[in-house]
Every structure is written in structure tokens, then in C-alpha cells.
Amino acid sequence: MDLQVVEQVALLGEWIADGDVVVLSGAGLSTDSGIPDYRGPSGSARRSTPMTYQTFTGDPIARRRYWARSHLGWRTIGDARPNEGHAAVASLQHQGVVGGIITQNVDGLHQAAGATGVVELHGNLARIACLACGELTPREVLGERLDAANPAFTGVALAFNADGDAELADESLDGFTVVDCTDCGGLLKPDVVYFGETVPADRVARSFELVESARTLLVLGSSLTVMSGRRFVLRAAKLGIRVAIVNRGVTRGEPYAGLIIDAPLGIVLPHLVALPAA
């Protein structure tokens, strides 16, 4: 780290040592686990339009193609392991200085690293929900059913996206068989918030609760481009709560942050844990 970053990290260490820190994490925290972010330096160039809830429920062909891509993409997301950044956040939580974790990610890596009580704003790809009866099942169970229904599926991903959606050649998508709920025959969907859906009100309310009780809101790996995460920064700034951002590249939270560190999270976060003040 250069001298400026070292000084910034030392200041952030002092803020964290004060306690009552709430973490808001984005896709940039998971890039070291092999999951691309959306807009940062490792972001994949998405060539297909993100799936919307309206298209998923209303267009059988689009739904079939989505499941083919997602089935392949899950092999990357499902195999991902927590990196040093996730471990550092969990460690700070166990030390008692981080009192809450809000994540925009759908990969479950905070929990895999040992964090607890994580508010998953956009859900988790590891769960599958039936849109008719509400039954939740593990993604592994659906994966086995899709494998059995598509023994000849040999799609090769051209690229992966942070939401678990893979880019595939059109010829790999044709003929893919979708399976439905074993209990009621209803449509199955990853238990995540699609474009066109709203984040469940209880998750939003819990997140605002955490932010409003914080001394510092620490944003990790998010450009804050969409309001889903930026609204918490706006609330913190309005209430006079300190905002610190660690992110590679530009962030829309800049006008509201008292501290911005443009450096790799996998270096900054373990260093914070090692600081005597933390």
C-alpha cells in the first residue's frame, strides 16, 4: 500500500475501534473469490439483458434459457469460497466492533466465512423458491433434478456475471428442459430479487434500523450506482453518521463519505483486523 492508503487505513482503523460499525457490502467484496463484479475493474461485459421478474414469469422461452444459463453459472457461484475480505468482516464482527452486516450480494459468502445475522437484501442463489406455494429448497437439489432432466446438456460458459447468470452460445440454450415444483407444480425461481421486483420491506426496514444505530457505515466493494444500496448511505449522511467507503474505482457515495479508500479489499480488510486499535 502507498503512504496515502496506509494513512487512510489507519484512520479507518480508529473509526472501527470506536465500535458500532455497520457493513454494507457489494459485488466488489467477492471478486477475490472468483465472482465478477458489475462495474468495477473485474466486472464482466454483460452481453444479455438481466432477467426481469415480468419476463421470467411471462415468457416460457426466456425462462428456459435463463435456467440453462443459471444452471451453468451456479457451478461457479456454488463452488466459490470466502476470501480474506469476507474473513476479515467476520473477524471484526466476532470482535464486537461490527454490529451489523447488510449485503447486496447473493453468494452467501459472508455466512460461509462465519458471519451471522447478515441481512441479504437481494436474497441468496443457494435457495430456490416456488412462486405458487412458497416452498424453499436447496439449490443443490434443483441442480440434481436439472442434471437428470438434461443429460445431454454440454453448455460452455463464455462469461459469468455476479448474479450467477452465465453467457452461453445460443445453440447451447435450445432444448434445455425446465423442471417445476415437486409439491405443487408451480414455477421455480432462485430466491433472489430480480429487476422489476422490490426488495422485501422487512429487509429494508431491518437495514435502516442497523444504519440508524451505527456510529460508522462501512461500504465495501460497492459503486453505489443503484438506489438499493445508496439509500442507506444517504440515510447515514442525513443523520450525521460517518460513512467510509473501500472500493476499487469510482463510487456514487463520494459526496457523502468522510473517507474513501481506493485499494484492494483483500489487502485493506485483513490489515484492519491486524491493527492494534481494532
Q: Which residues are catalytically annotated?
A: 122
Mapping DSSP onto H, E and C, the string for 160-178 reads: ECCCCCEECCHHHHCCCCC
Rounded Cα gap, residues 29 and 107, in angstroms: 11
Query: CB–CB of 214/232 below 8 Å?
Result: no
Q: Specify the 3-state DSSP secondary structure of 257.
A: coil
Is 33 within 8 Å of 110 (Cβ atoms)?
Answer: no
Residue 278: name the closest of 25, 91, 5 by CA. 91
The residues near 115 (Cβ < 8 Å, ≥ 6 apart) are 86, 89, 90, 93, 101
Residue 118 has which C-alpha cell?
447478515
How many whole angstroms separate alpha carbon 51 and alpha carbon 178? 16
Confirm whether residue 133 is marked as ligand binding.
yes
271 marked among binding-site residues: no
Was 192 annotated as part of a binding site?
no
Q: Is 181 annotated as a binding residue?
A: yes
Binding site residues, as ranges? 130, 133, 181, 184
Binding site residues for Zn(2+), as ranges? 130, 133, 181, 184
